[in-house]
């Protein structure tokens, strides 16, 4: 993504944040500080509420980065290095150099992210329970929200709709049974489109129920996933169309050669009428 900046480098992988995450950060921070923490824990002071909101929003970013690192480290283990992880408004994106070559590799790479999120969910949940007898209500509030957020992150990503992790797991299973990567990708992407349409439909129902904020967020996520699944289908069609061709098959071989001593005005005068003003200059 172009509008992103590098925040850190972990295990040789750049952690980048897209400017769109700033919008998400602000919305989540405002929601936690204005609604969730004060309504769920009215005993907390205003300072405590906003301290918790800042900490929870920041650690949510860390959790998303950890989810991406899970994918990246397992991917590197299978010989598919990841150069960057970009956090943007809809989550994290690990940019792999190429697709997996074996369904087994794809399965474990896709599963790694949700596994990390589940481990974090259990860890933060335990922290929330421990806070009952330790630091107190603030730790309980923080641990429970972070545990719920990471559990939601894991479960949402396990939905079997490509390109979500669950969709990639589903594709790897199909791929393993059929031995056909392209067919498996097409089926998983179609399921991804259906999943996205379902999310957008749910968003409409939320709107009819008066939950405008939920409606907007769910609909936007559905719209993004539908676009990603559709792009995957378009890329697959392009690959299938050109499969088996070489550069020699599509190159133009009947090129016209001119003397390197020609002046540019002579070249344009002689060649432009026959080429329609379009030509490629190459020096041999």
- Whether residue 248 is contained in a domain is answered as no
pLDDT interval class at 213 (50, 70, 90): low
On whether both 274 and 222 belong to a single domain, the answer is no
Nearest Cα neighbor of 226 from 198, 187, 193 is 193
- Whether residue 60 is contained in a domain is answered as yes
On whether both 163 and 262 belong to a single domain, the answer is no
pLDDT digits (tens, 9 = 90+) for 119-171: 999 999 988 777 665 457 888 899 999 999 999 999 999 998 888 899 999 99
- Whether residue 140 is contained in a domain is answered as yes
Query: Distance between CA atoms of 4 and 88, rounded to whole angstroms?
Result: 9
On whether both 282 and 172 belong to a single domain, the answer is no
On whether both 46 and 178 belong to a single domain, the answer is yes
Helical H segments across the chain, by residue range: 19-31, 37-40, 46-77, 103-130, 137-157, 165-178, 181-208, 212-242, 247-250, 264-275
For residue 268, the enclosing domain spans 254-284
Query: Distance between CA atoms of 213 and 31, rounded to whole angstroms?
Result: 10
pLDDT digits (tens, 9 = 90+) for 45-71: 999 999 999 999 999 999 999 999 999
Q: In this predicted structure, what is the pLDDT of residue 171?
A: 94
Residue with tokens 């190429």: 98
Which of 21-25, 40-44, 240-244 is predicted with the least confidence, judged by mean pLDDT?
A: 240-244
Residue with tokens 């479960």: 155
Over pLDDT 70: what percentage of the chain? 82
pLDDT digits (tens, 9 = 90+) for 232-251: 888 878 776 776 667 766 66
- Whether residue 242 is contained in a domain is answered as no
Between 148 and 211, the more confident residue is: 148
Q: What is the pTM of this model?
A: 0.79
What integer is the mean pLDDT of 168-194? 92
Q: In this predicted structure, what is the pLDDT of residue 75?
A: 92
- Whether residue 224 is contained in a domain is answered as yes
Judge whether residue 215 has pLDDT over 80.
no
Structural domain count of the chain: 2
Could you tell me which residues are beta bridge partners of residue 85?
15, 94
């Amino acid at each position: 993504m172009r509008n992103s900046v590098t925040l850190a480098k972990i295990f040789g992988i750049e952690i980048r944040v897209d400017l769109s995450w700033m919008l998400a950060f602000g919305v989540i921070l405002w929601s936690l500080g204005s609604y969730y923490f004060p309504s769920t824990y009215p005993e907390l002071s205003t300072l405590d509420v906003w301290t918790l909101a800042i900490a929870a929003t920041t650690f949510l970013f860390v959790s998303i980065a950890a989810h991406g690192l899970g994918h990246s480290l397992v991917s590197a283990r299978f010989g598919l290095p990841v150069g960057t992880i970009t956090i943007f408004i809809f989550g994290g994106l690990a940019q792999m150099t190429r697709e997996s070559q074996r369904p087994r590799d794809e399965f474990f790479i896709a599963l790694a992210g949700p596994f990390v999120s589940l481990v974090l969910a259990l860890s933060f949940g335990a922290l929330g329970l421990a806070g009952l007898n330790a630091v107190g209500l603030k730790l309980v509030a923080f641990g429970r929200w972070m545990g719920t957020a990471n559990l939601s992150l894991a479960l949402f990503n396990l939905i079997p709709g490509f390109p979500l992790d669950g969709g990639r797991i589903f594709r790897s299973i199909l791929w393993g049974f059929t031995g056909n990567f392209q067919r498996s990708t097409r089926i998983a992407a179609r399921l991804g489109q259906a999943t996205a349409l379902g999310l957008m439909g749910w968003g409409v129902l939320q709107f009819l129920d008066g939950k405008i904020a939920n409606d907007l967020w769910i609909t936007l996520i559905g719209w993004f996933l539908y676009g990603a699944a559709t792009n995957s289908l378009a890329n697959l069609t392009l690959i299938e169309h050109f499969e088996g061709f070489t550069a020699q098959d599509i190159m133009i071989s009947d090129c016209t050669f001119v003397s390197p001593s020609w002046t540019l005005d002579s070249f344009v005068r002689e060649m432009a009428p026959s080429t329609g003003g379009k030509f490629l200059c190459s020096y041999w």
